[in-house]
Structure 1
Amino acid sequence: MSEPRWLDAAQQRDWRAYIEGSVRLADLLDRDLKAKHGLTTAEYEILVRLSEAPERRLRMAELAEYASQSRSRLSHTVARLECKGLVSRGTCGDDKRGVNAELTEKGFAFLEQAARDHVATVREYFIDVIDPDDLKAVGRAFSAVAEQVAKAR
Structure 2
Amino acid sequence: MTEGLDRIRLAAWRAYVESSQLLLTQLEDELRGASGLSMADYHVLVLLSEAPGQRLRMGELASRLVFSPSRLTYQISSMQRRGLVTRQPCPEDRRGSEAVLTATGLLTLRDAAPHHLASVRAHLMDDLDDDEVACLTRVFERLGARLRGVRDASTTHATS
Give the TM-score range, shorter chain: over 0.9
For residue 74 of structure 2, the aligned residue among 73, 76, 85 is 76
Partner of 1:26: 24
Return the letter of the residue paired with 2:104: K
| CA deviation map 1:18-77 (0-9, x unaligned) | 111100011111111111111111111001000000010001111111111111101111
The CA distance in 2 between the partners of 1:115 and 1:99, in whole Å, is 27
List alignment gaps of at least 5 residues for structure 1.
none
For residue 119 of structure 2, the aligned residue among 93, 118, 121 is 121
Alpha-carbon deviation of 1:151?
Answer: 2.2
SS class of match (1:69): coil
SS class of match (2:2): coil
Match status 1:92 vs 2:90:
yes
Partner of 2:107: 109
After TM superposition, the runs of 4+ consecutive aligned structure 1 residues lying more than 4 A away are none
The CA distance in 1 between the partners of 2:11 and 2:128, in whole Å, is 18
The CA distance in 2 between the partners of 1:55 and 1:135, in whole Å, is 32
Partner of 2:148: 150
Return the letter of the residue paired with 1:149: L
Alpha-carbon deviation of 1:10?
Answer: 1.2
Query: What TM-score does the superposition give when structure 1 sets the normalisation length?
Result: 0.95
Greater CA drift, 8-17 or 49-58: 8-17
Alpha-carbon deviation of 1:8?
Answer: 1.3
Query: What TM-score does the superposition give when structure 2 sets the normalisation length?
Result: 0.91
The CA distance in 1 between the partners of 2:141 and 2:3, in whole Å, is 23
The CA distance in 1 between the partners of 2:46 and 2:27, in whole Å, is 15
Q: What is the Cα-based RMSD across aligned positions, in Å?
A: 1.0
Return the letter of the residue paired with 2:81: C
Alpha-carbon deviation of 1:106?
Answer: 1.0
List alignment gaps of at least 5 residues for structure 2.
152-160
Partner of 1:52: 50
